[in-house]
Structure 1
């Protein structure tokens, strides 16, 4: 009876947090079968569509992209609302998939964490690994949620700034309020610390957590908290477990005159790509995507292989396109962990800690750069002063983390401004804009009257 009560609770929490419709997602691994042993619990975490999906609201918001006016007709209303940083991206009868997908993953992780010590031990999946994966999954989802739906972490106000609901208690009678930002971060860190001793150094698949991905996520968490020594320490721990970077000099264009016709040697499969430490991405694919002039301008167009391989100003037929279109990679919104981000988190933290370490920062920065620029003309970046080194690190973040959640959250944490004109009307988001924080979905508030975030540009 207690197990059934917990199961009913999970259905209710998933429903209340994700959607007002009757089409709720079944959290169980085998249809309506109730999990009976630890292998069944592990299988709940193996459903990549539920665990490794999510992260798309940033797709039209960051300063990476542009939607030409003549393409607006092809965009749905929520995409245009997102692109113009509107108060609400979704109506009350619409589901915000970012919120729903992350809480779906949390629901599964909660069920595993709450039950695994009580269930019969089976022998296909390691019990400790399953427990560690569940803690990592919850931490990973909560980090995305708190950075999307709450203010950026500020040590002076985090204990009072509203965070996101933490549905952890198995009580079907409780409507879950919003935690504080500090409480959310505390749980994220606690989960990752619990996960670390239970996980393998590296995982056999990038859809499963490992010590490397847990250290990497801790490095990111502490970077966002401006705890730079801890960020550097954990990012370095991740790199010490493996630091493979793809050498872009080994790739080749099928048609050197037209990058849109494809790239040889590049692994576009997110799961098998050697640089992807932990996969999280939306299931939808953007067929038409145009880059902003601001993004294009940060590339060395003659020598940067990222520009040569992934950006084109003509389509596959050779027809000119307004602005630039990314090809071969980057058309699926990405919110996972990639090796280049770990390098860059480490470098930034080294330069922002109390005693900057430019020696290691420049060394790791050049490890990345050497794999991204044409070897025939490449020259290492040379440290002149701390300010210029940090500036170059941040430029590499701009280039390397394009079209990912981390560019949008970099804009938010760094307090950047951006303007865009849509059908003659100019919209501007800046550090003081409330809409850097996404609205709590209206369909969620209709069920659970959570306090809404302040709205307005």
Structure 2
């Protein structure tokens, strides 16, 4: 434990030192520099690497609203401004938790990948070596994808070679010169890393570690965001061929996080959790659940005739689950089948999921051969099933790219704030301290 503390301290020192500061740092002789498989595994186990995704993915979307008095009293200016999509979102602040958090994951992954290059892969350590390398590739790709959803435009095949993506550090060196590649390069890197990871990871699912079905599930998620529905469906199918466990709400009231494909949580820095009285669920979303839909009372708690709050569904200390699970993969595959016109197969997936969400004696399956109608149903059920999973923001961006025209609005104390389709505020600005240090181009706001 003492050595692990020194190891983490050494790594954190490198992560959080600026370029100028890092040049002056001389590691103490008793610091442990990561060099063994045990060291690398411990780095990947560290909670900031594997467990969290940023609250900004929920805070900017439209599934819930904040209590007006609570919003006016908020002390965190970045969080307050993010909620209303303020043009000057940072104000006097120069940093962003989401940016720092995800790039620290990238740094940890790079530290592992760099270290493995210096460690011989042998017949004796090959399985473990490959698993650790696969996990590092997975964590890095996942972090880059999260950053791309926030700090880059939605992937658009027609403009990806000119749209700016996000910087991708390739080594654990804070002095590495950072540039902004294109969105095409950014997503090519994400895909290639996940494909390589999938070839190295173990086949059996484990909620606490990356695996082949988890890599396939994340590939399906990324390809869906990119609008490549053929490949999204292909990888969702691959993931489901290994991991297809669904909770039946007729039998169970809560999902044990140990039953999931891969555990991730929304960052607790902004506490969207439990029966939190400052979050008011969108009334249109609540009204979309049928009376016999068991999710209504499993996912939410009714506070008054008009106000519903989120209820914890995954038993992870009331913090929102944002990881990978089979329900998302069924919905991805159903959407891809629907878009391809394979309505029978799409509805087979959708109805199979909903059998586990409605009272068993009252469930009426969807029936249609109309492609657009089936797709509409799938997208509606996707929103109802995957609420508070950190997915709505990326869904809004990709659906608006495809012409769905979903604008957003807040009403606070009589003041109306809007985020129209096509507005530059759909892309979050890069932290000003990063612009000062690296000189990379800023996102227009």
Task: Say yes or no: TM over 0.5.
Answer: yes
C-alpha separation in 2, matches of 1:381 and 1:85: 37
In the other structure, the counterpart of 1:152 is: 154
Describe how 1:226-265 pairs up with structure 2 within 5 A: 226-251=227-252, 265=253
In the other structure, the counterpart of 1:102 is: 102
1:327 equivalent among 311, 326, 334: 311
C-alpha separation in 1, matches of 2:42 and 2:155: 34
In the other structure, the counterpart of 1:317 is: none
In the other structure, the counterpart of 2:292 is: 303
In the other structure, the counterpart of 1:343 is: 330
Cα 1:82/1:182, change in 2 over 3 Å = same
C-alpha separation in 2, matches of 1:139 and 1:441: 21
CA apart distance, 1:321: 7.7
| Contact in 1 for aligned 2:78/2:93 (Cα 8 Å) | no
| Contact in 2 for aligned 1:343/1:364 (Cα 8 Å) | yes
Helix, strand or coil at the partner of 2:158: coil
TM-score computed with the length of structure 1 as normaliser: 0.84
CA apart distance, 1:48: 2.2
CA apart distance, 1:419: 1.5
C-alpha separation in 2, matches of 1:91 and 1:124: 50
Partner deviation per Cα, 1:293-317 (whole Å, 9 max, x = no partner): 12112111x1111112222222xxx
In the other structure, the counterpart of 1:361 is: 346
| Contact in 1 for aligned 2:331/2:350 (Cα 8 Å) | yes
CA apart distance, 1:250: 1.2
Cα 1:174/1:323, change in 2 over 3 Å = same
Helix, strand or coil at the partner of 1:179: coil
C-alpha separation in 2, matches of 1:60 and 1:173: 33
Number of residue pairs matched by the alignment: 415
CA apart distance, 1:114: 2.0
Cα 1:391/1:361, change in 2 over 3 Å = same
| Contact in 1 for aligned 2:53/2:322 (Cα 8 Å) | yes
Helix, strand or coil at the partner of 1:165: coil
| Contact in 2 for aligned 1:145/1:164 (Cα 8 Å) | yes
CA apart distance, 1:279: 2.1
In the other structure, the counterpart of 1:443 is: 433
1:395 aligns with 2:380: yes
1:129 equivalent among 124, 128, 131: 131
Cα 1:420/1:372, change in 2 over 3 Å = same
C-alpha separation in 2, matches of 1:190 and 1:174: 22
| Contact in 1 for aligned 2:243/2:261 (Cα 8 Å) | no
In the other structure, the counterpart of 1:4 is: none
Helix, strand or coil at the partner of 1:337: coil
Partner deviation per Cα, 1:41-60 (whole Å, 9 max, x = no partner): 12110112333223211232
Q: Which moved more, 1:122-131 or 1:152-161?
A: 122-131
CA apart distance, 1:72: 2.2
| Contact in 1 for aligned 2:135/2:197 (Cα 8 Å) | yes
1:385 equivalent among 362, 370, 375: 370
Describe how 1:131-280 pairs up with structure 2 within 5 A: 131-169=133-171, 173-204=175-206, 206-251=207-252, 265-267=253-255, 270=257, 272=258, 274-280=259-265
C-alpha separation in 2, matches of 1:239 and 1:203: 11
1:119 aligns with 2:119: yes
Helix, strand or coil at the partner of 2:250: helix
Give structure 1 stretches of 5+ with no counterpart.
1-6, 23-30, 252-264, 315-319
C-alpha separation in 2, matches of 1:47 and 1:170: 16
Partner deviation per Cα, 1:234-254 (whole Å, 9 max, x = no partner): 110001112000001113xxx
C-alpha separation in 2, matches of 1:11 and 1:119: 23
C-alpha separation in 1, matches of 2:296 and 2:201: 37
Cα 1:124/1:181, change in 2 over 3 Å = closer
C-alpha separation in 2, matches of 1:246 and 1:328: 15
C-alpha separation in 2, matches of 1:14 and 1:202: 35
C-alpha separation in 1, matches of 2:34 and 2:281: 46
Helix, strand or coil at the partner of 2:162: coil
Helix, strand or coil at the partner of 1:66: strand
Partner deviation per Cα, 1:107-140 (whole Å, 9 max, x = no partner): 1111211221322669698111001111111111
